[in-house]
Structure 1
Amino acid sequence: MRAALFTDFKAPLTVRDVPVPRPGDDDAIVAVRACGICR
C-alpha cells in the first residue's frame, strides 16, 4: 500500500510503498479514501 511518511524531524514528507499490516485479534483496518496533511 502507499503511505506518506515522516522519516526524520523537519525532513520532507515521502510517499512510499509499504507492506499491508496484518490486524491482530483486537485490531481493525480502516480504509482511508482521502486525507489532508497540514505542516
Structure 2
Amino acid sequence: MRVQLLDEATVDLADGYRFYERQAEGLGEYFLDSLWSDI
C-alpha cells in the first residue's frame, strides 16, 4: 500500500516527533513507529 502525506501532515508529524523527543530521548521515534504501525 502506498500512503501519500500532505505537506501539512508532514510538518505536523515532524512537530510531534520533536515534541516527544523533548519529553524523553527515543520517544519521538516511538511516536512515529506507533503512527506508521496504525496506518
Instruction: Please indicate the TM-score interval, normalised by the length of the shorter structure.
Output: under 0.3
Considering fraction of residues, name the structure with more strand: 1
Considering fraction of residues, name the structure with more helix: 2
**TM-score, normalisation: structure 2:** 0.22
